[in-house]
Amino acid sequence: MKPLIDGDILLYEIGNSAEYVDESGEKVIRDFDFAANLVDQKIKEICAEVWATEEPTIFITNNRRIHKKVNRQRKTEGKPLVEYVPNFRESIAKKKEYKAGRKPEKPFHYDNLLVYLLANYQCEMAFGMEADDLMSIRQWERAKDGHLDTIICTRDKDLRIVPGMHFGWECGRQAQYGPTRVTELGEVRLTKDGKKIVGNGLKFFYSQLVTGDSTDNIPGIPGSGPVAAFKSVHDAESEAELFERVGALYKDKYGDGWEEEMREQADLLWMVRELDENNQPVMYKWPMSGS
């Protein structure tokens, strides 16, 4: 079993764990050795939980901050500079700016941890997309043929639409997820208070087309919440049925322009599984029209 680990989350989680606010309200930064030991231990724990038989790969999104450092290093080495390629979703989002307002302060040791991971672990950098997409691509390369020898390791619920093995480690109020297998169709359930829908596979993907994702500033269908999403997808027996049911909600909301609206949301929410001959992301295809 090969762990595919979300490095973006590790950089923040471990970085934040290496600093605290003391009794006087001052931020205290721990030595980097503390942070390095923490990230090593976390990766070992993840590998143990998922029965790893291969070394893990750490996936990291190439953001503007990281890209500047990469080009600085390339210049030092006498290599040509490379152009920054933004996340493809930024040009897709029309109704709302993608991830607008989501710019959390980076921990003090963010850059130090990044360099440490790149130097000490097998890492893959995602260019023009997110680490989530690259993890999805690597898992799908195996899962599409029925192989269950990779496991996506992340606390990000969005990746749980990808078939195959999944694991999410416990952190604060977030409980451990798996290790478990996600099927293509998946499953969903509504929390007791009816305020949240949780699940995996295509059912969760289609539920997000209804609810959107406030974390990434993806609106979904305005006015439609978790209950409406659950009723639409929970007992669907096929991908085509999911499309028909959720498509009907879009038709009711947008009329003749429903498919364009639904297309935008799908392209924002879909975890890329394949790249085309030009190395560009292949978007989700509707099960009926194939578009």
Contacts of 188 (CB under 8 A, 6+ apart): 197, 198, 199, 200, 203, 204, 207, 229, 230, 233, 234
Give Rg (Cα) of the chain. 20
Q: What are the pLDDT digits (tens) for 265-287?
A: 999 999 999 999 999 999 999 99
Counting as low any pLDDT under 50, the low residues of the chain are 290
**pLDDT at residue 220, rounded to an integer:** 86
**Alpha carbon of 157 to those of 3, 109, 162, 177: distances in Å?**
17, 25, 10, 10
CA 79-85-87 angle, 5° bins: 145
In the chain, where are the structural domains located? Answer: 1-181, 183-291
The highest-level CATH class for domain 1-181 is alpha beta
User: Would the pTM of this model clear 0.85, i.e. be above it?
Assistant: yes
pLDDT in tens, 230-266: 999 999 999 999 999 999 999 999 999 999 999 999 9
pLDDT of residue 290: 45
Q: Which uninterrupted H or E stretch holds 253?
A: helix 239-254
